[in-house]
Structure 1
């Protein structure tokens, strides 16, 4: 078939970027003759994360449209026109066989230009309630892959497949003993992992700050707390992590395989990727859905985990009050931890990236033959 050139548009958050990288890995593994280029923005996490994954990335100038009036909205038409021109230039220069949209504002202009140039567009949607970019692009897409059955009603039925969320294969490969050593932790204490998503979560951080002494001193836990870059400096100043021997306060965790492997229990937002990673790693969790997302999709994600016995749900407004008790009742119960871990693993779809990659290669092959 010759070389396959793949352009992947994904940006904004880890929920869009990490599945995109997982698909890229699967495409590269399936054929050494695959050339992959990412499109993102320089102002978001993809700029560093994609490069760290050893893929080339180029940028366009785009951001979201704010629902309430802001000065930034006045720039939006200019950004949109510029991003379309930049997308046209990138696509003409790279000449991809297929374009993949994994969501985020960056995917809008890239996907739109691709369909106007008759280049096959593939969508991968991570959430039960699809983002606006993928909903807009769906009509002209050739293939759409969803992670939740709930998402299928928003897309044309004949080209939509339920595949699960692509997750990083490295997540399940780290040895627990080595992971604990990486954080300078003991094998004789339970470890709590706090994840607020790639940007951090204000309410989770507030609850942790209030109860850090109870969790660390009274319950005797080792704690890995990813708080997000925008909260890190203030939390470091207010919490004084140097006073807590078994606390590791991080703005961002680059070695997620080690963090998951070290954890006995995870407190996390209920983004689609987080839920998929918890399933893949078999980690019991306390899920705190963000109330600030479209279609309340994080609550739907969390309910699916809870109904299957893999997680406990605590609402955002109840977390500060309930955090210590919620942690203690799970982390002290060995039998419950085992049952939740097993239930989480039963929800895992570890081959999602490979299945998506196979279908993409098949699509490109059919297009080249015709």
Structure 2
């Protein structure tokens, strides 16, 4: 892999950056796209503002960051860590060993790389890395995506010098003097894809409406089950083109149960790498209500049906969804009512161009497209003031 310092070379360097020397940034983020993609957006913004910025990610080899960060053009190193299960499992017996090992590995990584700043974007991997940074006196910055912060960032909050939040509700879980409301960093490429080109990517027509189904990076069981039950009506009765990201763990089973050759306008995917094309092609999106998903829907202005996961801390996805609904950008369906109400809800929205337009405008009003740049600017200023 090429050095991350060579990525996105531009002419943004000013006299301050030349005098200051290269900034070395260590970013810890892992587990899900909700942690990883905001981290990549911050990394991109840092290198756009200072082309000589050196960036190293820390993740785990067993989760999506190992593949996604490399595809984004950044170097990544690994530590051995996983979560502690709330119910008893044999895996929990390994947790103390993993935690101790991860702290030793984090110490070695931080000492060798010697960063100017460490950024935690959440996930289990950020815990030992952020803790070591605090112990070594390296400035720690947190970017918290959700209204109810994850346990890792809540613990690290006491050691952080700055905490960037996406929802005002998150402030009460951190030292308030360190908190700044900035929004969620999103991939800047998401909103610049041409619609016709995007439709061609999926071999779709411009004269049909397109439904995009997202269950988060790992897929969502309830959404997949509802889609399986209703795929015939959605495809044939409503005459929709469908892009369905079901998640890698569900793909083989669904692909064997559904005769995809019988649905010419269905694209069943385990994971969508070209999200700009997927968003650009979509007229309506069915999605979980994770913080990143809501931010991306706002940025792209996509009308949505949000199905909050009931299995998240603080029920934060329901709070995220209600915020979108109250502003006119989305409709909300719970897991329990999804199967019964899916068809009618999709039909009422996707066949009503006036409603689609209204939801599009409402979603865009919630967007904070400059979040990544705002965070990157403060990080550079912090390093300069050291």
- TM-score by structure 2 length? 0.95
Q: 2:258, 2:366 → 1: CA distance?
A: 36
Q: Secondary structure at the match of 2:69?
A: helix
Aligned partner of 1:323 in structure 2 is 342
Aligned partner of 1:216 in structure 2 is 235
Shift of 1:241: 1.1
Q: Secondary structure at the match of 1:194?
A: strand
- Asked if 1:150 corresponds to 2:169, the answer is yes
Shift of 1:33: 1.4
- Of 106, 116, 126, the match for 1:97: 116
- Of 221, 234, 259, the match for 2:278: 259
- Asked if 1:180 corresponds to 2:204, the answer is no
Q: 1:30, 1:60 → 2: CA distance?
A: 29
Q: 1:85, 1:281 → 2: CA distance?
A: 42
Q: 2:168, 2:145 → 1: CA distance?
A: 11
Q: Secondary structure at the match of 2:164?
A: strand
- Of 258, 277, 283, the match for 2:296: 277
Q: How does 1:83-232 map to 2 (within 5 A)?
A: 83-232=102-251
- Provide, for residues 191-212 of structure 1, a one-character-per-residue CA deviation record: whole Å limited to 9, x for no partner: 0000000000000000000000
The structure 1 segments of at least 4 consecutive aligned residues displaced by more than 3 Å after TM superposition are none
Q: 1:247, 1:293 → 2: CA distance?
A: 30
Shift of 1:90: 0.3
Aligned partner of 2:65 in structure 1 is 46
- Asked if 1:248 corresponds to 2:267, the answer is yes
Q: 1:272, 1:5 → 2: CA distance?
A: 28
Aligned partner of 2:366 in structure 1 is 347
Q: 1:164, 1:185 → 2: CA distance?
A: 33
- Of 327, 345, 353, the match for 1:308: 327
Aligned partner of 2:9 in structure 1 is none
- Provide, for residues 287-334 of structure 1, a one-character-per-residue CA deviation record: whole Å limited to 9, x for no partner: 000000000000000000000000000001110111000100000111
Aligned partner of 1:70 in structure 2 is 89
Q: 2:220, 2:321 → 1: CA distance?
A: 16
Shift of 1:240: 1.4
Q: 2:110, 2:251 → 1: CA distance?
A: 38
Shift of 1:73: 0.5
Q: Secondary structure at the match of 2:141?
A: strand
- Provide, for residues 93-136 of structure 1, a one-character-per-residue CA deviation record: whole Å limited to 9, x for no partner: 10000000000000000000000000000000000000000000
Aligned partner of 1:290 in structure 2 is 309
Shift of 1:242: 1.3
Q: Which runs of 5+ in 1 are unaligned?
A: none
Q: 1:364, 1:241 → 2: CA distance?
A: 53
Q: Which runs of 5+ in 2 are unaligned?
A: 1-19
RMSD: 0.3
Q: Secondary structure at the match of 1:289?
A: coil
Aligned partner of 2:38 in structure 1 is 19
How many residues align structurally? 367
Q: Secondary structure at the match of 1:61?
A: coil
Q: Secondary structure at the match of 1:144?
A: strand
